[in-house]
């Protein structure tokens, strides 16, 4: 359950596993800037609901394959791609010029670019893993590559930022702090946050604290991401988990 480079092809950026969607009562005022959140929906820069369909590309390890990989991903019908980056604690760092080039390639292929820091994977269990605070330091260091790309890029702060056990209890406070710091630094992008427990949230820390994390974002533009591996092995478990976000009127997606 510790490996994860897939991004499910039927990504539900919000409500039920079967892809049903809630109606929105109004369009967010910030829609013209880039992606935004309205209830359970993600809204694109043109004010239209956006349903993600895509896969991961492990860019930081296979940079020579990125151009062809993005073309192939688009050819298979994807509208988005989750890009693995290194922040320097375990891999990389992928500098601003590198990230800018990736964004340009995503745009050329008409793919929305979901950028994620992979170094945070399994923090607390995985030796050498980065903290969410270190991931934020990285995002700030490459901000020049991200400014003006809000309509094409989402920031997935850190991949699976905590392992299992007691350390995962820090997820809520650390995630709020990370979001607050990114907004204070001037980031206008939609922010995506992964669950703890190697992304699977079997302790239900993200599920039970999602509302307070969302409220900590002054732009109310945070999307929650669950990685459904072995923990979610029945339809009942999947529907219950996603359904709780639907009831809370919060955006949830299956990120792996």
Is there a contact between 251 and 42 (Cβ–Cβ < 8 Å)? yes
Euclidean distance between CA atoms 253 and 27, whole angstroms: 20
List 116, 125, 150, 256, catalytic entry: 256
Q: Is 237 a catalytic residue?
A: no
Euclidean distance between CA atoms 115 and 85, whole angstroms: 7
DSSP letter assigned to residue 93: -
Q: Is 116 a catalytic residue?
A: no
- Across 44-55, b (16+ Cβ under 10 Å) vs e yields bbeeebbbbbbb
Euclidean distance between CA atoms 194 and 7, whole angstroms: 13
Euclidean distance between CA atoms 39 and 25, whole angstroms: 9
List 116, 125, 150, 160, catalytic entry: 160
Euclidean distance between CA atoms 198 and 169, whole angstroms: 13
Angle, CA of 80, 83 and 85, to the nearest 5° = 160
156 in helix, strand or coil?
Answer: strand
For 204-253, give the secondary structure using H, E and C: CHHHHHHHHHHHHCCCCCEEEEECCCCCCCCHHHHHHHHHHHHHCCCCEE
Is there a contact between 126 and 164 (Cβ–Cβ < 8 Å)? no
Q: Which residues are catalytic?
A: 160, 256
């Amino acid at each position: 359950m510790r490996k994860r480079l897939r991004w499910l092809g039927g990504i539900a950026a919000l409500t039920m596993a079967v892809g049903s969607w809630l109606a929105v009562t109004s369009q967010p005022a910030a829609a013209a800037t880039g992606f935004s959140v309205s209830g359970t929906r993600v809204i694109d820069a043109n004010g239209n609901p956006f349903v993600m369909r895509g896969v991961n590309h492990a860019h930081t390890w296979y940079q020579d394959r990125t151009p062809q990989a993005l073309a192939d991903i688009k050819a298979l019908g994807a509208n988005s791609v989750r890009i693995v980056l290194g922040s320097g604690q375990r891999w990389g760092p992928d500098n601003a010029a590198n990230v800018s080039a990736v964004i340009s390639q995503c745009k050329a292929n008409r793919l929305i670019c979901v950028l994620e820091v992979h170094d945070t994977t399994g923090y607390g269990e995985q030796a050498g893993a980065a903290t969410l605070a270190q991931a934020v330091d990285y995002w700030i260091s490459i901000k020049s590559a991200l400014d003006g790309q809000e309509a094409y890029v989402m920031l997935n702060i850190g991949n699976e930022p905590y392992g299992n056990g007691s350390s995962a209890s820090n997820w809520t406070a650390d995630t709020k702090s990370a979001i607050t710091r990114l907004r204070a630094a001037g980031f206008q992008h939609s922010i995506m946050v992964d669950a703890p427990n190697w992304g699977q949230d079997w302790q239900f820390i993200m599920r039970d604290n999602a509302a307070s994390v969302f409220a900590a974002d002054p732009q109310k533009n945070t999307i929650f991401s669950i990685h459904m591996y072995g923990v979610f092995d029945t339809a009942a478990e999947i529907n219950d988990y996603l359904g709780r976000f639907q009831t809370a009127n919060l955006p949830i997606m299956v990120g792996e």
